[in-house]
Amino acid sequence: MIRTYSSQEHIEQLNIAVKVENVTVEYKGKPNLFNVNMEVPCGVLLAVLGPNNSGKTTLLKTMAGIEKPTAGNVYIYSKPTHAAKNDLAYVPERNMVNWDFPISLFDLVLMGSYNRLRRVEHPKKKDKVIAWEALERVGLEKLAKKSICDLSRGEKHRALIARALVQDARIYVMDDPMVAADEESINIIVEVLQELRAKKKTVIVSHHEFVTIPRYFDMVALLNVKLLGMGKTEDILTEENFEKTYGMSAGMIKNIRLYMDESHDRNK
């Protein structure tokens, strides 16, 4: 079905980077996501929060066009995901990558240029320069020739982000890009995320650290199979919402709150 928009609608659509419309994704008859509706504006840093098995990865993969929704649609800049070539770069979860694969770090990062190449074309000098710049941006240029199996956890995260940077997309979807990473890597990744926002790119990240959310992200989406809330970070990160999403005891939420207050004070 071809959708047409009035001029006012069209202007609104241009400001929406990702639109998720009544999306349900089932796996073995059970819903991983149920009737999710969300609109991600252009140029924001959005954190997707939720407990384990809440459907965060499924949501990100559906946005990236990797998973096909059982029902509903996803639009990238008003186009269906399969038509949004080069608009979106995906950073998979570190554990979902075969790190024993025999390639160098530079080869991995260079993979980001393949969307610009024709079927039997190999990367050119220009692509290699872009890959080198991405490596420099994440501070891994000295390890370029190293095998990917020899990288530390934080370096692996940075390597995957560098590959996505080479794609030069308008939307970046990242699955847990900071989990179990060292402090240096987290700082570099956060800098990269903020640079992307400054360039008006849209970044959607699944994240686990509540403490750092107010510092890093403009918007938060709370997910537990259903979308329980989405909006500005300060509006969404409330005790009530946490309890609704995580089903935790009040004591646990208090501790989290304490953490959040401390981090807020530190920021002041």
Partner 1 sequence: MIEISDTFIFNTMLKSASFLGLSSGMLGVILSYQRRSIEINALAAGSFVGILVFYLLAGVGVYISPYIFEQIDKYVFSFIGSIVGALFMIVLLHILYKTDRLHMHIIQSLMTAVMLGVGITLITYIRHTGGSLDSGIDIYLFGEKTSLTSEEFVFLRVIATAIVVILLLYFSRLKIVVFNKDIALTTHFHTSFYYFLVNIMVICLVAFSIKIMGVFLSVSIFLIPAVTARLWSNRLFIIMITAGLIGAVSGALGTTVSGLLGNITLGISITLILAVIFIISLIISPYKGILGKKLYSGGK
Residue 177's Cα: distance from chain center in Å? 8
The Cα angle at residue 71 between residues 236 and 21, in degrees rounded to 5: 40
For partner 1, the closer CB: 88 or 219? 88
Beta strand segments in the chain, E? 16-27, 30-41, 45-49, 71-76, 79-80, 88-91, 171-175, 202-206, 219-224, 226-232
For partner 1, the closer CB: 35 or 104? 104
Residue type, 158: R
Q: Counting beta carbons within 10 angstroms of the beta carbon of residue 39, is it exposed (0 to 12), middle (13 to 18) or buried (19 or more)?
A: middle
For partner 1, the closer CB: 50 or 92? 92
Q: List interacting residues with partner 1 (CB under 8 A).
A: 28, 61, 64-66, 85-86, 88-90, 92, 96-98, 101-104, 107, 111-112, 114-115, 117, 119-123, 147, 149, 163, 167
How, if at all, do strands 226-232 and 219-224 pair? Answer: antiparallel
The single-letter DSSP state of residue 91 is E
Q: How far is the CB of 101 from partner 1 (least distance, A)?
A: 5
Q: How far is the CB of 19 from partner 1 (least distance, A)?
A: 18
For partner 1, the closer CB: 5 or 101? 101
Q: How far is the CB of 66 from partner 1 (least distance, A)?
A: 5
Q: How far is the CB of 156 from partner 1 (least distance, A)?
A: 13
Q: How far is the CB of 198 from partner 1 (least distance, A)?
A: 23
For partner 1, the closer CB: 93 or 216? 93
Q: Which residues contact 77 (CB under 8 A, 6 or more apart)?
A: 13, 14, 16, 17, 84, 87, 170
